[in-house]
Amino acid sequence: MTNIPELFGSMVFDDATMQARLPKDVYRAMKTAVRDNKRLDINVANVVATAMKNWALEKGATHYTHWFQPMTGITAEKHDSFISPIESGKVIMDFSGKELVRGESDASSFPSGGLRATFEARGYTAWDPTSNAFVKDNTLFIPTAFCSYGGEALDKKTPLLRSMEAINHQAMRILKLFGNDDVHSVKTTVGPEQEYFLIDEEVYRRRPDLIYTGRTLFGAKPPKGQELDDHYFGSLKPRVAAYMKELDEELWKLGVLAKTKHNEAAPAQHELAPIFTTTNIATDHNQLTMELMKKIAQRHGLVCLLHEKPFQGVNGSGKHNNWSLSTDSGVNLLEPGDTPHENAQFLLFLCAVIRAVDEYQDLLRISVAGAGNDHRLGAHEAPPAIVSIFLGDELNAILEAIENDASYDAPEQVQMKIGVHVLPRFPKDTTDRNRTSPFAFTGNKFEFRSLGSSASVATPNIMLNTAVAEVLSDFADQLEKASCFTTALHDLIRDTIRKHKRILFNGNGYDEKNIRELEGRGLLNLPTTVDCLPHYLKEKNIRLFAKHGVLMESEIRSRYEIHLENYCKVLNIEALTMMEMTKRDILPAVSEYTKKVCDAAISKRSFSPALDCRFEEKIVNLLSACAAGIVEKGEALEAAMEGVQNAGGLLNQAIYYKEQIIPTMNALRAVVDEAETLVASKYWPYPGYGEILFSVK
Ligand code: ADP
Ligand code: MG
């Protein structure tokens, strides 16, 4: 039996390890620097580096790497060995404080969205000591942020850390007003629930579309999908269970708090949820989780698909970003309390989130956008593209009472005066939990449900933290100059509800009628990546990020470009893959099978002219029509692709992909899928949906 407490974090240079291995004064200096967000003194860094290296060598490390998160959304690493030559011609294993704290990296091949044109190609990585170093694959991994020499962020971690600092600063102002003198810092916490598909590797290898694009570009609907709901929370198949066990153990070694695992709605779909932690650590851990999910699958003859929509007509995969704020004294600021004082504070933070989501709907939408997630959001799956907040009946009723200065139908009929009365109790995790809401309050945290399964959680949290920081800053400005705090607080909460209640919505988000209602309230419906991305550059958004020091205008522009570029590249690869599959596999297969059926008819006729050949004739007719359709749609796609270059400008190119290429791809897919239902399975070049989805026993 594995001793899990012993296994947990065994490959992490964590606090306990540091305490055990660092001289007391160095340990204290390091903790203080981390707490106050200060640069580490080089002498201290040298001692930490040596201790870290010695520990890593014991864990089998030969190399170290500054591990960073470029704007590709995945992680990057460059490995350096610890070896250092000495005079005798031998080497020693060496690692200095300088090497720990800062690394140089050639940034030229990472997307920089134009930043490269104005600044040097080289970038540097800077240690993020708030996220622990760890050993994996005989390498010491040092979590870092990645910047250009001009100081611009070339990664997702730098702005994430900046946004955490911004919300910390503003939340502290609010907490001071409430007299919380024991609090020194506020951190945002995140628990990302990760969905994924597991399929057999042998089946995967026969699907070029999965290999090149992560999703199936063709595939007729199988006779059985998820309609029986027999997979959701069903018992785990032995291969899947063995995979999950190993995944848990590997994650635990790296200090990732993997907690829950279960089957999801679609066949072959599963979920892993960790226990929440500080946002930047949760982001690092989610990256490790995705990486290990893929790697460990290989050891089990499986492939893990993290694409948002691997199979048309089957539920796609998302990621739920559970988010809250917590003080260093251990108080969850989105947890309703027991005293009037705690309640008032809770309501104020709740209102800050409500207003932030309302005012920055566009940024939240952008933060989950991408070619893959476009198949889910706004396409009748998961949450709709339009952002709204679900609070639940009880909390809604409370807010309504506050809004109208009316009495809430609580145990005793009292008119709620914030800061004076206790909030009526309401059940935390009610069964009426709305699964269709993009942004739901779930008792003591918000759950942002629109994220795609493959994306980093960094960007959604950058947006959320910064938007909430902005509202808190405005709240603090107002309250700090109020002559009567309680009255000002009451009015602020009431007025915020009045002004921003349009974002609150308890109905079913799938219903077309409800979408129209939300649009009628003036909420933004931005169904696709191309629709939402231009909002990035709105003046209010540029102002927001600049004010809180999270992103400069040049950094926003670069992110906007990289995002658009990525969208175009994904669609380009998908279209090219479709054309190749059509020409090289699908049409030859249709033709071969047609010949086979013709041959059958000919031999039947020569055997006896009286034999009935209606089946063969019908199939040959249908197949011939299909083949003609495939050729025609394939040519249409080819012709459309030639037009991409003439679209002029990146945004126009993206629009062209959305408006011209995607519909043409869909038309081609429709005829090919039709052909798949006609061709004998042993002639069809690819494993079908049934075989893929039910491949793992
Ligand atoms: P479900 O959404 O499936 O009902 P839970 O409500 O138990 O599951 O929690 C889902 C996720 O929310 C878990 O990853 C959990 O750690 C996380 N979570 C719980 N509390 C917080 C919090 N205060 N801040 C951020 N995430 C949290
Ligand atoms: Mg959830």
Residue closest via CA to ligand 1's atom 23 equals: 324
Instruction: Please say whether the beta carbons of 505 and 389 come within 8 A.
Output: yes
The atom number, within ligand 1, closest to the CA of 274 reads 14
- Which is nearest to 192 in space by CA: 509, 462, 464, 461? 461
Asked whether the predicted pLDDT for residue 473 surpasses 60, the reply is yes
Output the CA–CA distances (angstroms, integers) from residue 200 to 140, 203, 315, in the order listed. Answer: 32, 5, 19
Ligand 1 first shell, C-beta below 6 A: 189-191, 193, 273-276, 322-324, 332, 442, 444-445
How confident is the model over 327-371, as pLDDT tens digits? Answer: 999 999 999 888 777 889 999 999 999 999 999 999 999 999 999
The atom number, within ligand 1, closest to the CA of 275 reads 16
Q: How far apart are CA 332 and CA 445, in angstroms?
A: 8
Q: What ligand has the least distance to the C-alpha of 289?
A: 1
* Mutation choice for ligand 1 from 187, 286, 320, 322, CB with most ligand atoms inside 8 A: 322
List beta partners, residue 348. Answer: none
Instruction: Please say whether the beta carbons of 177 and 559 come within 8 A.
Output: no
Q: How far apart are CA 78 and CA 341, in angstroms?
A: 51
Ligand 2 mean position to 293 CA, how many Å?
19
Instruction: Please say whether the beta carbons of 320 and 449 come within 8 A.
Output: yes
Asked whether the predicted pLDDT for residue 61 surpasses 60, the reply is yes
Query: CA angle, 216 as apex, 215 and 218 as ends, to 5°?
Result: 155
Ligand 2 mean position to 192 CA, how many Å?
9
Please return the burial class of 250, using the count of CB atoms within 10 Å of its CB with bins 0-12, 13-18 and 19+: buried
Ligand 2 mean position to 559 CA, how many Å?
28
Ligand 1 mean position to 260 CA, how many Å?
10
**In the prediction, which pLDDT does 420 show?**
61
Q: What is the dihedral of CA 19, 21, 25, 28, to 10 degrees?
A: -30
- Which is nearest to 160 in space by CA: 280, 66, 276, 67? 280
The atom number, within ligand 1, closest to the CA of 442 reads 6
pTM for the model stands at 0.94
Q: What ligand has the least distance to the C-alpha of 279?
A: 1
Query: CA angle, 229 as apex, 227 and 234 as ends, to 5°?
Result: 150
How confident is the model over 140-190, as pLDDT tens digits? Answer: 999 999 988 888 899 999 999 999 999 999 999 999 999 999 999 999 999
Q: What is the dihedral of CA 143, 363, 450, 661, to 10 degrees?
A: -100
Choice between 460 and 102, residue whose per-residue pLDDT is larger: 460
Mean pLDDT of 88-105: 91
Q: How far apart are CA 273 and CA 248, in angstroms?
A: 11
* CB-CB neighbours of 601 under 10 Å: 17
**In the prediction, which pLDDT does 104 show?**
82
How confident is the model over 506-565, as pLDDT tens digits? Answer: 888 778 888 899 999 999 999 999 999 999 999 999 999 999 999 999 999 999 999 999
List beta partners, residue 70. Answer: 155
Ligand 2 mean position to 447 CA, how many Å?
7
Mean pLDDT of the chain: 92
**In the prediction, which pLDDT does 229 show?**
73
How confident is the model over 482-512, as pLDDT tens digits? Answer: 999 999 999 999 999 999 999 999 888 778 8
The atom number, within ligand 1, closest to the CA of 326 reads 23
Which tokens in the block code for residue 688?
């079908």
The atom number, within ligand 1, closest to the CA of 323 reads 25
Q: How confident is the model at residue 456 (pLDDT cuts 50, 70, 90)?
A: very high
Q: Residue 572: which residues within 8 A CB-CB, separation 6 or more? A: 641, 644, 657
**In the prediction, which pLDDT does 162 show?**
96
Choice between 593 and 425, residue whose per-residue pLDDT is larger: 593
In this prediction, what percent of the chain has a pLDDT beyond 70?
94
Q: How confident is the model at residue 388 (pLDDT cuts 50, 70, 90)?
A: very high
* Mutation choice for ligand 1 from 257, 276, 390, CB with most ligand atoms inside 8 A: 276
Residue 694 Cα to chain centre, angstroms: 26
Amino acid, single-letter form, for residue 622 = L
Q: How many residues does the chain have?
A: 697
Asked whether the predicted pLDDT for residue 13 surpasses 80, the reply is yes
Asked whether the predicted pLDDT for residue 313 surpasses 50, the reply is yes
**In the prediction, which pLDDT does 118 show?**
46
Q: What ligand has the least distance to the C-alpha of 260?
A: 1
Range with lowest mean pLDDT among 63-67, 86-90, 193-197, 410-414: 410-414
Three-class secondary structure of residue 483 per DSSP: coil
How confident is the model over 31-52, as pLDDT tens digits? Answer: 998 888 788 889 999 999 999 9
Which tokens in the block code for residue 448?
């942002």
Residue 234 Cα to chain centre, angstroms: 25
Phi-psi region at 419: left, alpha or beta (left = phi > 0; alpha = psi -120 to 50): left
Amino acid, single-letter form, for residue 420 = V
